[in-house]
C-alpha cells in the first residue's frame, strides 16, 4: 500500500532456503539476501558481464564465495542511497559574487566539461558548477562522475532535474526552490550531499570489485 503497511516480500522462502543450504548458514535472513543482491548489482564485473541480460531478463544470481562481504557492502550502499537527502555534505569551494546572497536556482551550468576514460568507456566530468549569477561551486572531484545512474552521473541527473521549468502540456511550473521553503540553501546543500554520496558509493564499489562474484552455481529468486 501507499503507506507501506502491507508490504510483500519479493524474496521467497524457497530462495532463502537455497542460500542457507549453499552457504551452510541458517542465520541468513531475507534482508541479508536483499543487501547481497544490491551489492552484487553494483559489482563492476558483474554489470559488465551481464549487461545485455540485465536489460531484458531477471538476473540469475551467482553464489559469491563471500556472501557476507556482498551483503555488508549492499547494506552500506542502500543506507547511503536511501538517505541521500540527509547525508553528510562534501565541502565544495563556494565562490560568491558581489551583492546580496542569493541561493535560488533557475538552471545550473557546468563549467569546462571534459571527457575522461573509464573502464567502460569515456564519460563527462566537470570540476566547477555555475549555480546562479551569485554562486559558483568549485572543487568537484572527478570520482564523483564514476557513480552513474544509467548513462549519466548522479550529479548530472541532479543538475538536469533541479531547475525551474514549465510543463508545456499542463502549464505547471516545476520549481525546486519550493521543495523546502524554510531552507533557502536546500538545493546547494543537496548538491554537496550528492557529491559525498557519489564519492562514498565509488569507494564501496572499489572495495567490492576486489571480491570475486562467481563460484559456478547460480540461483533464481523463485522456484522455476
Q: What is the DSSP letter of 108?
A: -
Q: 108 vs 90, 103, 159, 187, CA distance in Å?
A: 18, 12, 6, 11
Confidence band, pLDDT 50/70/90 cuts, at residue 47: confident
pLDDT at residue 74, as a whole number: 97
Range 10-32 average pLDDT: 93
Q: Render pLDDT for 164-178 as a digit per residue (tens, 0 to 9).
A: 998 888 989 999 999
Mark 143-152 as b/e (b = at least 16 C-beta within 10 Å).
ebbbbbeeee
Return the minimum-mean-pLDDT range out of 54-58, 90-94, 172-176, 186-190: 54-58
Give 221 or 72, the one with higher predicted confidence: 72
User: Quick one: what percent of the chain has pLDDT higher than 90?
Assistant: 65
Whether the per-residue pLDDT at 223 is higher than 60: the answer is no
27's CB contacts (< 8 A; 6+ apart) are: none
- CB-CB contact of 58 with 220 (8 Å): yes
pLDDT at residue 3, as a whole number: 59
Residues in the chain: 224
pTM comes to 0.87
Q: CA 5, 11, 17, 20 torsion: positive or negative?
A: negative
Q: What is the DSSP letter of 178?
A: G
Q: Render pLDDT for 52-80 as a digit per residue (tens, 0 to 9).
A: 777 777 667 889 999 999 999 999 999 99
Q: How many angstroms separate the CA atoms of 139 and 92, rounded?
A: 6
Range 115-130 average pLDDT: 88
Amino acid at each position: 500500500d501507499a503507506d507501506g503497511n502491507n508490504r510483500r516480500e519479493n524474496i521467497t522462502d524457497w530462495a532463502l532456503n537455497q542460500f542457507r543450504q549453499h552457504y551452510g548458514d541458517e542465520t541468513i535472513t531475507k534482508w541479508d539476501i536483499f543487501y547481497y543482491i544490491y551489492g552484487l548489482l553494483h559489482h563492476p564485473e558483474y554489470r559488465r558481464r551481464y549487461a545485455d541480460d540485465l536489460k531484458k531478463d531477471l538476473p540469475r544470481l551467482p553464489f559469491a564465495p563471500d556472501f557476507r562481504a556482498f551483503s555488508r557492502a549492499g547494506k552500506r550502499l542502500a543506507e547511503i542511497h536511501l538517505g541521500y537527502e540527509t547525508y553528510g555534505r562534501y565541502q565544495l569551494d563556494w565562490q560568491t559574487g558581489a551583492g546580496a546572497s542569493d541561493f535560488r536556482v533557475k538552471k545550473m551550468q557546468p563549467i569546462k566539461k571534459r571527457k575522461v576514460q573509464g573502464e567502460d568507456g569515456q564519460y563527462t566530468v566537470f570540476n566547477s558548477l555555475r549555480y546562479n549569477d551569485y554562486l559558483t561551486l568549485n572543487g568537484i572531484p572527478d570520482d564523483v562522475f564514476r557513480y552513474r545512474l544509467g548513462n549519466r552521473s548522479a550529479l548530472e541527473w541532479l543538475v538536469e532535474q533541479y531547475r525551474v521549468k514549465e510543463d508545456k502540456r499542463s502549464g505547471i511550473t516545476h520549481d525546486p526552490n519550493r521543495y523546502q521553503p524554510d531552507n533557502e540553501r536546500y538545493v546547494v546543500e543537496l548538491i554537496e550531499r550528492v557529491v559525498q554520496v557519489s564519492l562514498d558509493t565509488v569507494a564501496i564499489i572499489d572495495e567490492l570489485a576486489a571480491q570475486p562474484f562467481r563460484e559456478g552455481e547460480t540461483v533464481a529468486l523463485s522456484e522455476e
